[in-house]
Every structure is written in structure tokens, then in C-alpha cells.
Amino acid sequence: MPNRLSRLFRKGPIRPEDYVGSDEARNEQMVRAGFVAKAKHYLRQIPLAGEVVAMYFCMLDAKTPMWAKATVAAALAYFVLPVDAIPDWLPVVGLTDDAGVLTAALTAISANLTAEHRRQARDWLEAEKVILVEAREA
């Protein structure tokens, strides 16, 4: 990974690969291993939890294009990894960087998210008894 600090001052797009690496197979393996545990703990605090889980199922779908899988894998790897730009344990601001990365990935791959992915996400969230922010507010 090239010097990340120099990229902060350069104008241009932010590439997730600069932060989690470009090894797609490794990123996907890390996401699969760590996503469920971290999701159960932190998804209650993220308003777009249902969409994040839908992105996970989109990544697992064989029909999803490789570029979309790589984008989701990189974003979810950032969410799962313990090393962050802002540590997750900080109150209020701890998950803001994760939410930003996840939102950017969601925007990029939204055309590949299907109703089936969202249904699988809803089923998983219900089965795991994850309480969504939207559900608590209603």
C-alpha cells in the first residue's frame, strides 16, 4: 500500500483498496468470517442496517458482477476490521467512518441490489433478532 498520507491531500476519488488492500479473495474471506459477529453487535446503531446486510447477500450472489462484489467486500472488510480511521468504541462518532464507507459502497452498487437480497437480509435480521434503528423509532 502506497503512502496513505499523501493521498489525503490529493484530489480525486477515494478508493477502498487503499485502506483494505486489493486482494479481493482475502477481503471476502475476512468479511465472511467477521461480518456476522460484528453485525450483531453494531448494526443496532447504524440506520442503514438492512441495506448493509443486503449488500452482504449481494456479495454472496453468483450473479453479482465481480466489481460490485469487490466494492462490497472492501467496504464490509473496513466495517469488520478492528483498525479504523475513528475507533468504533468512541461514543457518537465511533461508527461515522464505517457508515460513510458503507454508504459510499451502497451508492456504487445499488443497481445490483435486488429484492431477493433485501428479503434475505430481512429474514436474517429477524432470525438473529437484530433490532433495527428504524424499527425502534416506529
The stretch 107-127 carries a mean pLDDT of 93
* Number of domains within the chain: 1
Q: Measured between alpha carbons, how far is 89 from 32 in angstroms, rounded to an integer?
A: 22
- Tens of pLDDT, residues 59-100: 999 999 999 999 998 898 888 777 776 776 676 677 788 888
Would you say residue 115 has pLDDT above 60? yes
Is residue 48 assigned to a domain? Answer: yes
**Per-residue pLDDT at 11 exceeds 90:** no
Nearest to 113, CA basis, from 39, 105, 45: 105
In a domain, 13, yes or no: no
Give the CA distances from residue 68 to residues 27, 35, 45, 59, 63, in Å, rounded to whole numbers and listed in that order: 13, 17, 25, 7, 10
For the chain, give the longest Cα–Cα distance.
46
Domain span including residue 117: 23-137
121 secondary structure, DSSP code: H
The better pLDDT of the pair 135, 10 is held by 10
Mind listing the pLDDT tens digit for each residue in 29-51?
766 666 777 777 777 777 788 89
Q: Does residue 15 form part of some domain? A: no
DSSP 73: H
Within-domain flag for 85: yes
